[in-house]
């Protein structure tokens, strides 16, 4: 089976500052992965490389077996990669309504404006916030803003959803509701998930697999319930010590 995502010996540096030296891992379609590691290890950079927003200094990135980035070259443009990304700061346009924000995220789709509008309204409804269509982000709560960003990401029906710590600052009740919604969307629309987080509850609450980056390399990769039984990385050992009785997600 061809992996949905494949990183082959990917290296990234900004000037003389190395982010990581050699990252290799695969993600199979339908899996939900947590991308874990200490601050500064390059988790967000991995998402940006996958999305085509940055290019690797060396190595290859493939999506569905197709080479999309190769040794500092972008071979497939970001809007052609069939993925969507929700950033930590959500990146909502403050002067646009929720509906307009979602429509803007669909600009690459070859649809008439009326078609984009109908699809955007459907995506807002899917996230339970169709009543917010005319509101601007500042008129919505933090949890509602999260749903607007999620609706924008889901509107194009991506094969891969990238989440870069989008739950920071949310309370446990809102997080739990969002997790349930995201899981439902992923199942209903056949979306594969890659989540960057530092939070053990987020990782185990939303993901079945993990990729752990430490010291510029992939330290662990596999099903969370398996790697947590005998964790080799610092971060997974800390997960087990913080919450030993609840981490075994099957």
pLDDT of residue 63: 97
Does the reported pTM lie above 0.75?
A: yes
CA 210/CA 32 separation, integer angstroms: 8
pLDDT tens readout for residues 46-63: 999 999 999 999 999 999
Contact (CB, 8 A) for 68 and 61: yes
pLDDT of residue 243: 57
CA 194/CA 35 separation, integer angstroms: 7
CA 152/CA 98 separation, integer angstroms: 9
pLDDT tens readout for residues 74-104: 999 998 999 999 988 888 999 999 999 999 8
pLDDT of residue 249: 46
pLDDT of residue 246: 47
Type and span of the H or E element at 202: helix 200-206
What is the number of other CB atoms lying within 10 angstroms of the CB of residue 204? 21
Distances (CA, A) of 207 to 14, 53, 180, 197, 203: 30, 24, 12, 11, 5
Cα maximum dimension of the chain: 54
Sorted by where each begins, the domain ranges of the chain are: 1-82+160-250, 91-157
Among candidates 206, 209, 202, 205, which has minimal Cα distance to 228? 209
Residue 46 in 3-state DSSP?
helix
Percentage of residues of the chain with pLDDT beyond 90: 54
Q: In what order do the strands lie in the sheet with 217-223?
A: 83-86, 160-164, 192-196, 32-36, 209-214, 217-223
Contact (CB, 8 A) for 54 and 12: yes
CATH class of 1-82+160-250: alpha beta
Angle in degrees, 0-180, between the axes of helices 142-155 and 113-126, rounded to the nearest 10? 130
Looking at residues 12-38, what average pLDDT do you find?
Answer: 94
Residue 70 DSSP label: E
Record the tokens describing residue 9, joined without a space: 């010996």
């Amino acid at each position: 089976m061809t992996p949905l995502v494949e990183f082959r010996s990917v290296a990234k540096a900004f000037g003389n500052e190395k982010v990581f030296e050699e990252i290799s891992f695969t993600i199979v379609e339908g899996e939900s992965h947590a991308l874990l590691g200490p601050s500064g290890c390059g988790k967000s950079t991995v998402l940006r490389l996958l999305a085509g927003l940055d290019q690797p200094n060396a190595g290859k990135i493939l999506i569905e077996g197709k080479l999309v980035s190769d040794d500092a070259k972008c071979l497939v443009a970001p809007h052609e990669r069939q993925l969507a990304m929700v950033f930590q700061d959500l990146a909502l346009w403050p002067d646009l309504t929720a509906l307009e924000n979602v429509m803007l995220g669909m600009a690459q789709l070859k649809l008439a404006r009326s078609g984009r509008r109908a699809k955007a309204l459907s995506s807002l409804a899917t996230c339970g916030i169709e009543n917010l269509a005319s509101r601007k982000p500042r008129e919505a709560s933090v949890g509602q803003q999260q749903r607007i960003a999620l609706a924008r990401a889901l509107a194009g029906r991506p094969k891969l959803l990238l989440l870069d710590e989008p739950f920071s600052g949310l309370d446990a009740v809102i997080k739990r509701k969002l997790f349930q919604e995201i899981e439902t969307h992923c199942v209903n629309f056949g979306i594969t998930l890659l989540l960057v987080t530092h939070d053990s509850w987020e990782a185990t609450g939303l993901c079945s697999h993990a990729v752990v980056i430490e010291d510029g390399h992939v330290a662990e990769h596999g099903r969370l319930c398996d790697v947590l039984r005998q964790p080799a990385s610092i971060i997974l050992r800390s997960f087990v010590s913080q919450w030993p009785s609840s981490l075994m997600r099957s």
